[in-house]
Amino acid sequence: MEKKSTSNVKLGAFVLAGLLFLVLLLYMIGKNEHLFGSTYELKATFSNAQGLVSGNNVRFAGIESGTVKKISIINDTLIEVTMLIEKKMKGIIRKNAVASIGTEGLVGNKVVNIIPGSETAAFAEEGDVLVSKKAISTDDMMQTLSKTNDDVAVIASGLKEVVQRINNSSALWDLLNEKSIPRDVKMSVANIRAATVKAGIMVNNLDAIVADIKNGKGSVGVLLKDTLFAKNLNEAVVKIKQVGDKADSLSMQLSNVVAGVQNDINNGKGTANALLKDTTLAAKLNASLDNIQKGTDGFNQNMEALKHNILFRGYFKKLEKQKAKAEKKAN
């Protein structure tokens, strides 16, 4: 009887321990799934769930803030994820927060990451749908790494070919072993330094010239800074232009006159035609000129006779004295 009673006690203790363990397990699961706490729902839509399942964690700024309640397929391009968020986050998560699907580590469980929004937006309420962002999946990363690996292989193959060409090129090694090359390089560097110094001097001189011009020094400075000189120069240019315009006008008038004279000559009209083509008029004109010359000669002879005349001799001597006195003063 005592043995049976002891067995019953052990059985009761085992059952009680099992029940306590079951209650503790249910409590831990419920706590992890936020079944016993105060929560509210937020939603987000994605084009690809990337292996996300109900019960996966939801993190806000890296802190666990809830779990995934359910995943619903809206259509062939849209998946809705419903999240249970702890009530204490209600005054923290804002409407413009961004949700994305990530991974806990490289090969861990999927997790929904909520990136904080700007402080100007209102806080998210029950049932609000957050903006989602496509995260880089592991497959995309592997594809990128594979492509990068292929590119690196191509580059390595090209470098290997270049190295082989360099090793097989005797001309390059001969050039590198040439003893005169270091000396030539040193001379080139020295020449570059000297040219740099000269360039610096030229720049300084140019700065000095520009400064003088700004201060109105030198011919160029006067041209650029002296307003009176500029005004006089402008006036001179205007006058030269006016003279040029008048010269053009006179040239045009002279051309018209010449054209008219030429036209008269061609048509047998005018004074010029008579002087050039009328032989009678030309003979008369020559005779008149001869008569004038003779009259001038006769007048000169008469004046010479008057100088020797006793009546006018004193007058002409007086004129000669006045002329001599004027020439003496001039000298």
CB 95 within 8 A of CB 121: yes
Domain boundaries, the chain: 1-32, 38-135, 278-313
Instruction: Please state, for a pLDDT cut of 90, what percent of the chain lies above it.
Output: 15
* pLDDT value of position 13: 72
pLDDT tens, residue by residue, 284-296: 767 777 777 777 7
SS3 93: coil
| pLDDT score of 130 more than 60 | yes
138: confidence class by pLDDT, cuts 50, 70, 90: low
Greater confidence, 227 or 196? 196
Greater confidence, 202 or 244? 202
Q: Compute the average pLDDT of residues 251-267.
A: 70
* pLDDT value of position 84: 93
Greater confidence, 104 or 220? 104
* pLDDT value of position 276: 58
pLDDT tens, residue by residue, 8-59: 666 677 777 777 777 666 656 555 554 555 889 999 999 888 888 998 999 9
Cα dist. 315→45, 58, 64, 206 in Å? 138, 143, 144, 79
147: confidence class by pLDDT, cuts 50, 70, 90: confident
CB 33 within 8 A of CB 67: yes
CB neighbour list of residue 237: distance below 8 Å, 6 or more residues apart: none
- Amino acid at residue number 10: K
d(CA 276, CA 285): 12
Mean pLDDT of the chain: 76
